[in-house]
Amino acid sequence: MKLSFSDVNGVMVLSPRGKIMGGPDATQMHDQLHEFINQGKKKVVIDLAKVDWMNSTGLGILISGLTTMRNSQGELKLANVTEKIQSLLTITKLITVFDCYDSVEEAVQSFK
Amino acid sequence: MSKIVKTKNQISIPSCLDYLKDVDEFVEERLKKTGLSESELADVAISVTEAVTNAIVHGNKSDEHKQVEITLEIKDPDVVIWVKDQGGGFDPGSVPSPVEKDNVLKKVGRGIFILKSLMDDVDFKFRSEGGTLVKMVKHLKPAKKS
């Protein structure tokens, strides 16, 4: 997984690319979210458009991110959830936990 | 020190999650010409990483001196994958359902559930010589006539 981010009107948009399967992937996302919190940036969107697939470790990373942000009075939302990830979120019932949006713009807008 | 060993249909890795990407590359490379759709190939790849993660973490307890062996068999109409560890074995039935209300937000515990959801057949065997052998099957669908 490769990870990049941008600041869109005060909302941090994290854009992972590739496959999220564990190993170094877990700490990379965790460290980036903690850096945002330390900088007082507590509105985060994860843009999943370029993620080929993720396994249960990837889902754990998303849950960890969500709880980390909420524990810091922040919020984490998902954008551009692909069909494959959507089906994993559905079978694991995590679809009920995450706010998902069709685009980054919509996710950013939802914070207002 | 243990290392990666590859043959035509088999890869063996030390018990460290950093090697998951090597397993994934091996599996996707070998299976891309089987007729599996992109979505089915992703299902198999995800499932293999789930089984290998379990073998590394729960089977071999991340002991890098122990290997995890992944074997592929492409036998029309099935793709069969075996994942073998050298650990003490574990009972997959003891894993609580990850979709129960109290478990939905847990960070771990979904691997076997996802594996069983994505593959057509999954079987766990506890070997008398030690270790767990997971057999996973994905049926190849007949090619559509144009």
Give the 3-state secondary structure percentages of chain A, helix then strand then coil, rounded to 5. 45, 30, 25
Q: What is the mean pLDDT of residues B135-140?
A: 94
Express each pLDDT in A36-75 by its tens digit: 999 999 999 999 999 999 999 999 999 999 999 999 999 9
Domain boundaries of chain A, sorted by first residue: 2-109
If DSSP codes are grouped into helix, strand and coil, which group holds residue B82?
Answer: strand
Structure tokens at B78: 């099935």
If DSSP codes are grouped into helix, strand and coil, which group holds residue A25?
Answer: helix
| Residue B20 to residue A22, Cβ atoms within 8 A | yes
Contacts of B107 in chain A (CB under 8 A): 60, 63-64
Who has greater pLDDT, B144 or A78?
A78
Within 10 A of A36 (CB to CB), how many other CB atoms are there? 21
Shortest Cα distance, chain B CAs vs residue A18, angstroms: 11
Q: Rounded distance, CA B134 to CA B145, Å? A: 34
Express each pLDDT in B92-117 by its tens digit: 778 889 999 899 989 899 999 999 99
| Residue B105 to residue A67, Cβ atoms within 8 A | yes
Q: Is residue B25's pLDDT more than 70?
A: yes
- pLDDT confidence of residue B146: 44
Which amino acid belongs to residue B55?
Answer: A
Domain boundaries of chain B, sorted by first residue: 5-139
Question: What top-level class would CATH report for the domain B5-139?
Answer: alpha beta
Structure tokens at B58: 């729960």
Percent of chain B scoring above 90 in pLDDT: 72
For B98, which of A21, A55, A92 is closest by C-beta distance?
A: A92
**Which residues are registered as beta bridge partners of A18?**
A51
Contacts of A2 in chain B (CB under 8 A): none
The distance from CA B28 to its chain's CA centroid, rounded to whole angstroms, is: 13
| Residue B117 to residue A91, Cβ atoms within 8 A | yes
- pLDDT confidence of residue B59: 92
Q: Rounded distance, CA B18 to CA A24, Å? A: 7
Q: Rounded distance, CA B118 to CA B137, Å? A: 10
Q: Choose among B81, B13, B85, B7: nearest CA to B48.
A: B81
- Categorize the per-residue pLDDT at A24 as very low, low, confident or very high, splitting at 50, 70 and 90: confident
Shortest Cα distance, chain B CAs vs residue A40, angstroms: 25
Question: What top-level class would CATH report for the domain A2-109?
Answer: alpha beta
Interface test with A, best of B20, B22, B26, B28 (most A CBs within 10 A): B20
For B17, which of A23, A52, A97 is closest by C-beta distance?
A: A23
| Residue B45 to residue A93, Cβ atoms within 8 A | no
If DSSP codes are grouped into helix, strand and coil, which group holds residue B39?
Answer: helix
